[in-house]
Amino acid sequence: FPSHDRVGGIENTEDVLAFLMAGCSAVQIGTQAFRQPWVFPSVTKGLQAYMQLEGLNTLQPIIGCAVPR
């Protein structure tokens, strides 16, 4: 998979997961951090919860999983 990054429009865990599943290998939270300074721990906890639910030890299987090959 080619590496893609997403900057902008990231507000919560669901946004991060959507962009990872679409093939982004990195996302950047910017403006939302000014609106909600707790966004970083919130997203981290959300990703950890998702990974635990799915039995994942790494985010690698998520990256690009929604993209047809």
**pLDDT tens readout for residues 47-69:** 999 999 999 999 999 999 999 87
Per-residue confidence (pLDDT) for residue 59, from 0 to 100: 94
Per-residue confidence (pLDDT) for residue 31, from 0 to 100: 87
**pLDDT tens readout for residues 14-30:** 999 999 999 988 888 88
| Residues 51/10/6/65 CA torsion (nearest 10 deg) | 30
pTM value is 0.85
CB 42 within 8 A of CB 69: no
Mean pLDDT, rounded, for 21-45: 91
Distance CA 53, CA 67 (A): 21
